[in-house]
Amino acid sequence: MSQPHTSKNHSLSRISDYPIDPVFLKRWSPLSFSSEKITEDTLYSLLEAARWTPSAYNSQPWRFVYAMRDTALWPEFIELLVEGNRSWAKQAAAIIFIISKTTLTSPISGIEQDAPSHSFDAGAAWMAMALQATQMGLATRPMTGVYFDKAREILKVPESYHIDAAIAVGHPNTTIPLEESHSRRMKFSNMRRSIHEISGEGYFKF
């Protein structure tokens, strides 16, 4: 039986063990988006937040390619997602691919060198985008359930760039009940390991 599942009760069921800013608990990744569109300016606010992310040598390795729903590009973007993601992501207002440059120009030597933190930086950029979306009443859901080879070909991504993830963006759907399997996944998403399972003073002991 489908259970009603709202963003309200979803975020309210997240409780931190130590005090943090509420935005960290309010951010969540819905599996259902409303049909409401977003404007390109709204999308640019999310990308603007991402733009201010710190990165190694301030190299800013992230690049974003996007499609808005109900445009000619949309079906092409949806085809790049695995089937399990297509079913819900097709309702999103936009899909953004985060792509990062795998090399950077050393500010010291001027030589092009490997950028070991390109994905770390791109991940931080997603989080900035996700928190900005939360503040604007929107939500994002990142996906690595992507046909990466196909995405490289269709999006014309050069070899020197890495496709990190696709991000669905939109207004979370807080009215339609989720199907059972999605409802279970949402409940699991509210769980986190304890601080002591993931951190400790001194040597690595996990």
Ligand X SMILES: Cc1cc2nc3c(=O)[nH]c(=O)nc-3n(C[C@H](O)[C@H](O)[C@H](O)COP(=O)(O)O)c2cc1C
Task: Candidates 38, 61, 142, 172: give the one binding ligand X (CB under 6 A).
Answer: 142
Stretch that binds ligand X, among 57-65, 101-109, 135-143, 147-155 (CB under 6 A): 135-143
Is 28 one of the binding residues for ligand X (CB under 6 A)? yes
CB-side exposure of 151: number of CA atoms within 13 Å? 25
Binding mask 81-110 for ligand X (x = CB under 6 A): ----x-------------------------
The span of 63-71, 97-105, 143-151, 195-203 binding ligand X (CB under 6 A) equals: 143-151
At what angle are helices 40-51 and 118-135 packed, to 10 degrees? 130
Strand runs labelled E in the chain: 62-68, 94-101, 103-105, 112-114, 139-143, 161-170
151 binds ligand X, rule: CB under 6 A: no
Which one-letter amino acid corresponds to residue 176? I
Buried b (16+ CB within 10 A) or exposed e, 135-155: eeebbbbbbeebeeeebbeeb
Q: Which is nearer to ligand X, 57 or 136 (CB)?
A: 136
Torsion of CA 103, 150, 179, 24, to 10 degrees: 10
- Residue 198, token pair as written in the block: 């993931």
Residues 160-189 that bind ligand X (CB under 6 A): 165, 189
Minimum CB distance to ligand X, residue 201 (Å) = 27
Cβ closest to ligand X, residue 83 vs residue 201: 83
* Binding stretches for ligand X (CB under 6 A): 28-29, 85, 141-145, 165, 189
